[in-house]
């Protein structure tokens, strides 16, 4: 009898579903936020119960129905003037919420600095940080006088293992914060099947170039890192055989419009704003162009690759060179080189098509997190 009870208990234990918790400040329309949702799908495919906890209610993406969502607002704690005390008290609330409403997760992944500053004070086990940007650029660690800033970052990222989304990001992390950091590289996940499905959605477009699929495409927020100034200056020096379509929003949008007018190319540059589904544009484009000065991983490159879109990019510090051959790359801030490459892309797009690598599929990437946690 007792043996039967033991066997039933062991069988019951095996049936307990493992849990993963993804923590992020909000789900606004950025690459990191999209990456969190895609990684969650990978864990779901591996049989995990997947929870997403955010500290602001903002959402700009369609939420994956396979994931469980939580909002625990951090805003009331901003009334506490002492920032460290604020993070500590909120972290206690976060821990209580997790244990009461989720249970102890087998893996907790903190994403981006607003979340990391809170989760460093968490008392829960199995926590890792996901580093999605080059630390030196994000925090302007350009000289040795930033000692206090480096120490604060070491106090955060030295406490738990760090998972970097590219080798360039990991190299930068180690160079910036030193050997006290435990880290590895695991790339972002990309759901090729979902991307292809979303890319098939129809677009109601008025512009003739878009209806005939005769255009180059850039997708990215209007901010200094994306180097729209380089992009427009290079395009003005290219053959301009096709119009240039820009998808995105940001504080430098008006400045970029003004530059297009100054360069005399306003009639060739199409501003379409932010679109939560950029994939139909990628699928139909003659080519995809990235002009960034800095990146963590660059989601849009493998997304374009998943749709067989020709791609060229600047060879910024991390990301592009880990996915594209040298033929598809140009130096950062090199306007003539990018202009020449854009002209070549418009003339022979097929020369710039790169096959999608299945290592990026969500369940393959999620398995790497599981393996790293177990190591």
- Do both 23 and 73 map to the same domain? yes
| 227 lies in some domain | yes
| 1 lies in some domain | no
- Do both 173 and 212 map to the same domain? no
- Do both 127 and 264 map to the same domain? no
d(CA 243, CA 203): 18
- Do both 169 and 296 map to the same domain? no
Closest CA to 271 of 290, 288, 258, 286: 258
Q: Which range marks the domain in which residue 326 is found?
A: 192-352
* The predicted structure's pLDDT at residue 12: 43
Residue found under tokens 């495409």: 217
* The predicted structure's pLDDT at residue 148: 86
| 128 lies in some domain | yes
| 243 lies in some domain | yes
Helices 228-237/253-262 angle, 10° precision? 20
Q: What is the mean pLDDT of each run of 10 residues along the chain (375 residues)?
A: 42 71 91 92 97 95 94 95 95 98 98 96 98 87 75 94 94 90 95 94 72 87 95 98 94 97 96 90 94 89 95 92 95 97 97 94 97 93
| 3 lies in some domain | no
> What is the SS3 assignment for 320?
helix
Q: What CATH number should be reported for the domain holding residue 335?
A: 3.40.50.2000
* The predicted structure's pLDDT at residue 343: 98
- Do both 31 and 175 map to the same domain? yes
| 336 lies in some domain | yes
- Do both 166 and 206 map to the same domain? no
- Do both 22 and 122 map to the same domain? yes
| 21 lies in some domain | yes
- Do both 25 and 169 map to the same domain? yes
- Do both 230 and 204 map to the same domain? yes
* The predicted structure's pLDDT at residue 7: 41
Vertex 338 angle, CA 336 and 342, to 5°: 115
- Do both 45 and 139 map to the same domain? yes
Q: Which residues contact 354 (CB under 8 A, 6 or more apart)?
A: 305, 311, 323, 324, 325, 328
Structure tokens at 236: 């003005």
| 303 lies in some domain | yes
* The predicted structure's pLDDT at residue 144: 57
d(CA 301, CA 311): 7
pTM: 0.84
- Do both 79 and 196 map to the same domain? no
**Count of domains observed in the chain:** 2
DSSP string for residues in 92-111: HHHHHHHHHHT---SEEEEE
- Do both 154 and 234 map to the same domain? no
Q: Which residues of 328-353 are buried (b: 16+ CB within 10 A; e: fewer)?
A: bbbebeebebbbbbbbbbbeebeebe
* The predicted structure's pLDDT at residue 2: 42
Structure tokens at 19: 């849990």
State the pairing for strand pair 162-164/127-131. parallel
> What is the SS3 assignment for 67?
coil
């Amino acid at each position: 009898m007792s043996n039967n009870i033991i066997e039933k208990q062991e069988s019951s234990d095996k049936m307990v579903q493992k849990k993963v918790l993804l923590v992020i400040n909000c789900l606004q329309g950025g690459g990191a936020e999209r990456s969190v949702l895609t990684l969650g799908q990978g864990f779901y495919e591996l049989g995990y119960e997947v929870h997403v906890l955010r500290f602001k209610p903002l959402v700009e993406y369609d939420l994956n129905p396979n994931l469980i969502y939580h909002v625990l607002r951090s805003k009331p704690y901003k009334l506490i003037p002492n920032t460290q005390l604020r993070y500590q008290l909120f972290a206690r609330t976060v821990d209580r919420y997790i244990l009461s409403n989720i249970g102890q997760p087998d893996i907790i992944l903190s994403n981006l600095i607003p979340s990391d500053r809170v989760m460093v004070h968490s008392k829960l086990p199995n926590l890792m940080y996901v580093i999605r940007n080059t630390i030196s650029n994000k925090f302007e660690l350009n000289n040795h006088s930033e000692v206090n800033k480096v120490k604060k970052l070491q106090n955060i990222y030295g406490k738990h293992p760090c998972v970097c989304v590219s080798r360039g990001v990991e190299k930068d992390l180690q160079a910036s914060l030193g050997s006290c950091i435990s880290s590895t590289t695991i790339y972002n996940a990309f759901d090729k099947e979902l991307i292809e499905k979303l890319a098939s959605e129809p677009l109601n477009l008025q512009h003739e170039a878009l209806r005939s699929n005769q255009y180059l495409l850039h997708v990215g927020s209007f901010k200094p890192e994306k180097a729209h100034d380089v992009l427009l200056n290079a395009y003005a020096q290219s053959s301009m055989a096709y119009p240039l379509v820009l998808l995105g929003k940001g504080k430098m949008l008006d400045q970029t419009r003004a530059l297009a007018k100054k360069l005399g190319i306003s009639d060739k540059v199409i501003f379409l704003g932010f679109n939560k589904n950029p994939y139909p544009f990628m699928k139909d484009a003659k080519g995809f162009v990235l002009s960034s000065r800095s990146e963590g991983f660059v989601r849009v490159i493998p997304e374009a690759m998943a749709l067989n879109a020709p791609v060229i990019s600047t060879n910024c510090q991390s990301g592009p060179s880990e996915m594209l051959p040298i033929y598809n790359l140009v130096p950062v801030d090199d306007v003539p080189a990018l202009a020449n490459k854009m002209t070549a892309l418009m003339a022979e797009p097929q020369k710039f098509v790169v096959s999608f690598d299945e290592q990026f599929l969500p369940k393959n990437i999620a398995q790497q997190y599981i393996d790293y946690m177990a190591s």
